[in-house]
Amino acid sequence: MNNSNPTGTGCPVLPLFREIAHNMKEKGNRHTAANYESFINKLALFLDEEQELFPLHKINKEWINHYIQWLHDKHPQKTQTVDFYFRGLRTLYNKAVRKEGVGEIPIMNPFCGLHIKKTPVPKRALPAKILKRLLDPELKTRLTESRTKSLDILLFSLYCRGMVFHDMYNLTWDMVSNDWQAQYCRSKTGRYIRLYIP
């Protein structure tokens, strides 16, 4: 097999990836599909004018390193974000290789040995004084209707271990069990979270 074309296909990357995301959505995996669409949109920005023509077989280790550096430039001091998009590209690449009929990931997988060194994220917590003010029942009596709704969303996020708005927006009743235990996939990391709804 020619190492310059490890997948044996010159198919454009983005249409392949979009089809994978669409199929995931059709299967009901909306959260995963939404993540895939985020990966695709980021890659489209990187490819710029090449985005509709760039072939799958041109994804090699050198190209991936350029992409990683571009992500670092776009998201300075945010290694978790860089890792999110890096892992997303790797996932889509592997699925595309299988989809194109190669049968398995090539031995010379361009992602082999590549990883993003993540820096620990410092814990952030609201000061007790501010939290006490937010929980004060009198606060809502001084707020407009829209601000009351915003406060409810904020408190729900806090009660649910800091759930981000995107994940709250995508919550559905079928994610909640009879004992009020919710399970969802974090849009940013793809990690499954299980918690009790207060």
For 48: left if phi > 0, alpha if psi spans -120 to 50, otherwise beta; the answer is: left
From residue 16, give the alpha-carbon distance in Å to each of 36, 63, 105, 182.
12, 18, 16, 33
Highest-scoring range by mean pLDDT, 144-153, 178-187, 189-198: 144-153
Percent of the chain at pLDDT exceeding 90? 43
Q: Residue 121 above 70 pLDDT?
A: no
Cα four-point dihedral sign 60, 106, 98, 31: negative
pTM for the full model?
A: 0.59
* Residue 52 confidence (pLDDT): 82
List the domains of the chain with CATH numbers.
13-99 (1.10.150), 128-196 (no CATH)
Over residues 129-164, the pLDDT tens digits come to: 888 999 998 999 999 999 999 999 999 888 888 888
**Mean pLDDT, rounded, for 18-36:** 91
> Mean per-residue pLDDT for 186-198?
77
Q: What's residue 8's pLDDT? A: 47
**CA–CA gap between residue 31 and residue 36 (Å, rounded):** 9
DSSP notation for 112-167: TT----PPPPPP----HHHHHHHT-THHHHTS-HHHHHHHHHHHHHHHTTS--HHH
- Element containing residue 22 per DSSP (H, E): helix 13-26
Q: How far apart are the first and last CA of the chain?
A: 57
pLDDT for the residue 101? 59
Q: Could you identify the residue written with the tokens 């430039």?
A: 73
Arithmetic mean of pLDDT over the chain: 85
pLDDT of residue 173: 87
Residue 105 corresponds to which tokens in the numbers above?
A: 């990931």
pLDDT at 194 over 90: no
Highest mean pLDDT among 27-31, 177-181, 192-196: 27-31
pLDDT at residue 106 tops 70: no
pLDDT tens per residue across span 54-68 = 999 899 999 999 999
How many other CB atoms are there within 10 angstroms of residue 11's CB atom?
A: 13
Q: Is the pLDDT of residue 6 over 60?
A: no
pLDDT at position 198 is: 62
pLDDT at 46: 96
Q: How far is CA 135 from CA 18, 138, 140, 160, 176, in A?
A: 44, 9, 9, 15, 25
